[in-house]
Amino acid sequence: MRTDTSPGALPARAPLALVPGEPVLDVVIPVFNEEKDLGPCVRRLHEHLTRTFPYPFRITVADNASTDRTPEVAHGLASVLDGVRSTRLEEKGRGRALRQVWSASDAPVLAYMDVDLSTDLNALLPLVAPLISGHSDLAIGTRLARSSRVVRGAKREFISRAYNLLLRSSLAARFSDAQCGFKAIRHEVAERLLPLVEDTGWFFDTELLVLAERAGLRIHEVPVDWVDDPDSTVHIVRTATEDLKGVWRVGRALAVGALPLDRLARPFGDDPRDRSALPEVEGGLARQLLGFCAVGALSTVLYLLLYSAFRAGTGPQFANGAALLLSAIANTAANRRLTFGVRGRDRALRHQAQGLVVFGIGLALTSGSLAALGAATAAPAHSTELAVLITANLAATVLRFLLFRAWVFPERRDTPVNVKDDIR
């Protein structure tokens, strides 16, 4: 992770000091080989801002090493439309383009949107207004709020929701939609936050938001109307793989305290909720991970002892199911009290029922592994069975923690922080 030095701590939030004639908003459109869509996109955005935005603005086309006529189209648009400019990068990467353009911009509010304009532009002013007024530090469009209107296929819907569930479970993220290509940030926040963001591709957005949230910055969410672009060139599998690597890298850096996020903290008294929420997020996650690992280790020992005892008189499948069921009940009870700090009888039966659902997933993984072993070897050795079961249980353990944290024992807050609470 980057540990570059950056300017001092952020000042208290305040409305922007507008300079007559200077752009208040700089909207960046990162593009790669978009010669067909770039012209209509920029013209439509320019017309919308001219008609609805009450302050001076700029549109910046950031060409990511395109090999078609995109640079010529961008240059032509800049020559005929007031407030439009273009810049060329010789390396690909949406994050790289945003970092370079935002770092060089003189506008107090920086934004970006995808060239396909999948997001309804009527959400643009509500997106940036809290940044102009001094209410918020960053703003994102969300397709996952109840009031959002989204048209897209079931596959992309599932991937998006699964990814955001992963972020909530693994990185304790509280924002609802990391991947919507519709975001804005105040200039002084970007100036301090960008040096800490390492990714140069699609994970850039997620990393930016996670670090901002961990630093106690305020993220405003705007429900959007969004229509999927059927001609999108995003490679889902490759992007998902890079995102998972990014989640692991950021999670590890946060766990070991490798990021100087205290530089981003607002002065005490700016908003006490921002400063009080941060220790709970970091401390709670670290404590839960330690507690879950300790309970998991003991549960694994219990499971193996039970399996060996049952295996002496029954077949492997029955022994596995019985051992896993008993250890799962004990595991849920221990995690309920020790890991997630839930005490009393309130919802205890519900928690056990949900824990049994998680148990069912673990049973499917371990039973499937045993079945595969039986199909490959007629009479596998007992040590081989144990090795296969341990491997399957490791995979089940990771999934169990994510489900426990996000579903069985979700964090309960009395004061909602963001619009995202509406989607629960």
- Nearest Cα to Cα of residue 156 among 186, 181, 131: 181
Q: Cα(208)–Cα(23) distance, rounded to whole angstroms? A: 24
List the strands of the sheet with 25-31, edge to edge: 84-89, 57-64, 25-31, 109-113, 182-186, 138-142, 219-223
Taking a C-beta distance cutoff of 8 angstroms, is the pair 149, 225 a contact?
yes
The tokens of 90 are what?
């010789």
3-class secondary structure, 412: coil
Q: Cα(267)–Cα(274) distance, rounded to whole angstroms? A: 10
The answer to whether residue 422 is catalytic is no
Q: Cα(181)–Cα(223) distance, rounded to whole angstroms? A: 13
H helices present in 134-266, as ranges:
154-170, 187-193, 204-214, 236-255
Q: To which H or E segment does residue 80 belong?
A: helix 70-80
Paired residues of 25 in beta bridges? 57, 109
Backbone angles phi, psi at 58, to 5 degrees: -140, 145
- Nearest Cα to Cα of residue 30 among 56, 72, 66: 66
Selecting among 37, 114, 199, 205, the annotated active-site residue is 205
Taking a C-beta distance cutoff of 8 angstroms, is the pair 220, 418 a contact?
yes
Q: Cα(140)–Cα(122) distance, rounded to whole angstroms? A: 14
* Residue 407 DSSP class: I
CA 251 to chain CA centroid, Å, is 11
Q: Which residue has the tokens 């029955």?
A: 318
Characterise 353 by phi-psi region: left (phi > 0), alpha (psi -120 to 50), beta (else).
alpha
Q: Cα(45)–Cα(58) distance, rounded to whole angstroms? A: 11
Q: Tell me the residue type at 177.
A: D
Q: Tell me the residue type at 364.
A: A
- Residues ≥6 apart with Cβ < 8 Å to 260: 3, 196
Taking a C-beta distance cutoff of 8 angstroms, is the pair 409, 351 a contact?
yes
Terminal Cα-to-Cα distance of the chain (whole angstroms)? 32
Backbone angles phi, psi at 295, to 5 degrees: -65, -40
Give catalytic residue positions: 205
